[in-house]
Chain A
Amino acid sequence: MVGRWLVAFAFFLHSYPPYRNAKIFIYNLLENSHYPYKKYFDYGMIALIFLSVYILIRQVKYEMPIEWLFFNNYVISLIFLIEYLVRLWIYSDNAKVVIDQYESDLFLHRPFSLSQALKTILKQKLEFILSPAAIIDLLAIMPFFHELRMLRIFVLFRVLKLFRYAKSLRRLISILASKKFELLTLALFALIMIMVSSVLIYVMEATNPKSPINTLFEALYWSVVTIFTVGYGDMVPVTSEGRTVAMIIIVSGIAVISFATSIIVTAFTEKLDEVKEEKMIDDVSKLERFYLVCGYSALANEVVHRLRKASKHIVVLEKDPKKAKEAHDDGMYVLNFDSASLHTYGAIRLHFEQQVIAVILLQDSDVANIYTALTIRELNKKIPLHSILHKPENRKKLSMAGIDEMVNPHELVGFMSKKISNQPIAFEVIHALRSEHGGTVIEEVILDVGMSKRFFELLLHPLFHQRLSMLGIYQRETQSFAFNPSPMFEIQAGDIAIIVANRSLVSEFRNLLHRKKV
């Protein structure tokens, strides 16, 4: 009966959206480091920890106001307690465990085993309770029982909670954890050495009335201080046997310290690339709008330098570590990933719609660019795709792969040669406009509906007349270009005027155009 009721309740919870959404929201807030609001929660908790430690230190010598103590002992502890319970709640999905058990039993024609389900739930919860982080959380709540004065010291466990909220600290732990076996072996060696030397020094020294080492605790203290090469000098062995032990333990101590250092340094060196990569992914995920360049070729280098001049953010995806390093040395955001792999875009947490202005495919072959284009199109149908076209005969294939615009350098050079032959001056004029040499530029000015009158009036304004040429207006709706339109031309939202003038004059024109009164 209880079992049936529990299964029904589990199914209800499992399919009840407010419950699921609340659990997902809390999970994101507490555990999902990519969730944008998690950092605010973490900052709040870090502030509470520091406040708590400040109160503990302050109250050692000074009288604290009762409200502060109340806040520390009850409010902060209560917040930590709630956090602990909520973490316990989200650690596993009890409803799912019950449902899984029910369905498994049903499949095998067995009666629902309530005890097995409860056992699984308990096992999962215990797994959380016994995890080091949860133990620290629990100990940090202890000052809640402030009547027990000794327990106040547990407030220091709150400092350890910082590991939960500071990403760099978590990273440090994970790096050290990668060398767990080596560090544990070394720790075991050090422990054995301490134990042996403590007993030996006690045996050798305790019976000598001149020796400062008289108890086993003092022997242990001396061993620890010596093996870790601190050597305060407050206790020194006086017998020859004791000094022999000291010599052995000093040598062992140096070995322990140097091995420990080497293990930690190795761990950091091994993980350095990974750490850098993670940092780069984090930085990229914070960028709002950028161009994604796939492949860092010589052409890519030129393109990104031009785009950076226009103050655009660029992210380079390059699978060749050598080229990736070049891009990094050139100051790019570069991710050493294969742009043709679907896995890449999940790993780098890229949001095409929100972050990417356009993708530029500049790899060294049409084959690679087509492959990457198909991968990107699988993820996003709308993102503008631009590509270099190495061989004109592949144009159709690139187009079929979903590439919107392509540039063939060979054709361009051919066209240019023709123009240079036919109209060298006209070519130079257009080239100068494009390259923005000499201060005269050709710019796009975005227009809005109802702007016609103001736009054409401004063109006749003494400041702009004879000094600013409007070539025409590109009509967004019909995707056609109206050359030299008359003042009767009806401007629509999103239409673009092409203006030729001095850069500062274009800027002034834009400003005046968007002001209400000229």
Chain B
Amino acid sequence: MRSAAVFGFNEYSRQIAAQVRNIYQDFALFVINEEEKKAAIQAGFLVELFDLSEDWRGIEKNFDVENLIVFCALANDAENVFLTISLRATFDKLHIVALAQDNQSAIKMKSAGADKVLPSLQIAANVISDMLEKPVVTKVLHDVLYEDGLLNIVEIEVTRHSSFVGKYLHEIHFKSEYDVILLAIVDHEMGTTFSFASKGHNHHIDPGDILVAIGYQDKLNVLIDAVRRRSV
């Protein structure tokens, strides 16, 4: 059972909570003071108060830590770093996503043990400059990533008995046969590091590899079926 917890209640954490609460079967919002609690309840969330000095064993009781993703989104970067480092000190396998105001704080979050850091200032700056310099790319990628349009991006894991196992990438005609574009592939043996398909490596597909493809949802569904189809 996958679960998520968001820490803090401000403009950022409100948006995070609103976007992720429906994805997870189990969701909790932790707030640091009464003021945040009041605002979160007004916004329609069920909340729990927490203290930065606590030992976090309560989390272990309520969630399966290995399947829990935590969003550290306190308004104060210093407190957020402290929260991140406290959680990491307690739980080795917890997946932590931390919010940072800028790059400097992002480095600290990373050092504190966050798996993924979202530097809000840089994110906004990147999008603004991309909108100015590459407006079409920005619009298309935004639609693909965040909008529920026809064009989508998927991650497809190659199953053990998949008909794709044992083939080379160049043997599969993603564009002409499936009308999708293969963007990247994660080599199972190399961990979670991906490589772009446009690098031109003629990768040998193994079970556990992940294909990242972009296309219209119906075409992607055809590809997903093909990947999962058992080889005869």
**A interface with B by C-beta (< 8 Å):** 291, 298-299, 302-303, 305-307, 310, 312, 357-358, 360, 362, 386, 388, 391, 405, 407, 409-430, 432-435, 438, 440, 442-444, 466-469, 471-472, 474, 481, 483-484, 496, 498, 500-502
* A362 contacts across to B, CB distance below 8 A: 128
Q: Given A412-B123, A466-B200, A469-B198, decide whether A498 and B137 contact each other with a Cβ distance below 8 A.
A: yes
The answer to whether B181 and A291 touch across the interface, beta carbons within 8 angstroms, is no
The answer to whether A417 and B19 touch across the interface, beta carbons within 8 angstroms, is yes
Segment of B44-52, B147-155, B158-166 engaged in the interface with chain A: B147-155
* A291 contacts across to B, CB distance below 8 A: 132
Of A409, A417, A420, most B-chain CB atoms within 10 Å? A417
Q: Which residue of A lies closest to B132 (CB)?
A: A358
* B12 contacts across to A, CB distance below 8 A: 409-410, 413-414
* A388 contacts across to B, CB distance below 8 A: 124, 128
Query: Chain B interface: which size bin?
Result: 35 or more
* A306 contacts across to B, CB distance below 8 A: 125-126, 129
Measured CA separation A428–B128 after assembly (Å)? 19
* B94 contacts across to A, CB distance below 8 A: none
Cβ distance B144 to chain A, nearest Cβ, rounded Å: 7
6 additional contacts, CB 8 Å, given A391-B11, A414-B19? A357-B132, A413-B15, A418-B23, A429-B183, A440-B198, A481-B136
Q: Given A466-B170, A471-B214, decide whether A417 and B155 contact each other with a Cβ distance below 8 A.
A: no
* B140 contacts across to A, CB distance below 8 A: 471-472, 474, 481, 498
* B19 contacts across to A, CB distance below 8 A: 414-415, 417-418
The answer to whether A484 and B122 touch across the interface, beta carbons within 8 angstroms, is no
**B179 on the interface (CB 8 Å rule)?**
yes
Q: Which residue of A lies closest to B71 (CB)?
A: A417
The answer to whether B131 and A412 touch across the interface, beta carbons within 8 angstroms, is no
Measured CA separation A468–B198 after assembly (Å)? 5
A-B contact count (CB 8 A): 185
Specify which of B134, B143, B198 is in contact with A501 (CB 8 Å cutoff): B198
* A427 contacts across to B, CB distance below 8 A: 145
The answer to whether A409 and B200 touch across the interface, beta carbons within 8 angstroms, is no
**B196 on the interface (CB 8 Å rule)?**
yes
Report 24 cross-chain contacts, Cβ distance below 8 Å, ordered by A residue: A298-B102, A302-B125, A386-B128, A407-B124, A410-B11, A416-B118, A418-B146, A421-B4, A425-B184, A425-B186, A425-B210, A429-B183, A429-B196, A430-B144, A430-B145, A433-B141, A433-B183, A434-B126, A443-B134, A467-B200, A469-B182, A484-B215, A496-B136, A501-B198
Q: Given A415-B145, A425-B192, A481-B140, decide whether A440 and B199 contact each other with a Cβ distance below 8 A.
A: yes
**B24 on the interface (CB 8 Å rule)?**
yes
Q: Given A444-B134, A471-B214, decide whether A500 and B200 contact each other with a Cβ distance below 8 A.
A: no
Q: Given A425-B212, A444-B137, decide whether A416 and B198 contact each other with a Cβ distance below 8 A.
A: no
Cβ distance A344 to chain B, nearest Cβ, rounded Å: 22
Specify which of A302, A484, A496 is in contact with B175 (CB 8 Å cutoff): A484
Cβ distance B149 to chain A, nearest Cβ, rounded Å: 10
The answer to whether A299 and B145 touch across the interface, beta carbons within 8 angstroms, is no
Q: Given A415-B19, A425-B194, A443-B137, decide whether A500 and B129 contact each other with a Cβ distance below 8 A.
A: no
* A471 contacts across to B, CB distance below 8 A: 140, 181, 214
* A433 contacts across to B, CB distance below 8 A: 141, 183, 196
